[in-house]
Amino acid sequence: MAGVITASEPSWKTPFTGLGPRQFGRLVTVLRREGADAVRKERPWGLPLEDRALLIAAYRRTT
């Protein structure tokens, strides 16, 4: 889909988060280790963990 910001495209990570590719990968690894990607009984997430991390990091960088 054109024009959609996604973590699967490496060129979006650094400009939107300020993190290098390795740093972003470590962030996602830590989030997974802490249980952020666990399957929940409630309503499931609509975005993969990497896209959620990109969204939050971009938000935090602009506030």
**Residue 2 confidence (pLDDT):** 64
Q: List, in sequence order, the alpha helices (H) in 1-63.
A: 13-17, 21-33, 49-62
The per-residue pLDDT for range 3-59, each reduced to its tens digit, is 788 898 888 899 999 999 999 999 999 999 999 888 878 888 889 999 999 999 999
Confirm whether 32 is domain-assigned.
yes
**How many C-alpha atoms does 55 have within 13 Å on its Cβ side?**
9
Confirm whether 18 is domain-assigned.
yes
- Domain carrying residue 57: 14-36+46-62
CB 61 within 8 A of CB 14: no
Residues sharing a CB contact under 8 Å with residue 52, sequence separation 6 or more, in sequence order:
36, 45
Domain total in the chain:
1
CB 53 within 8 A of CB 13: no
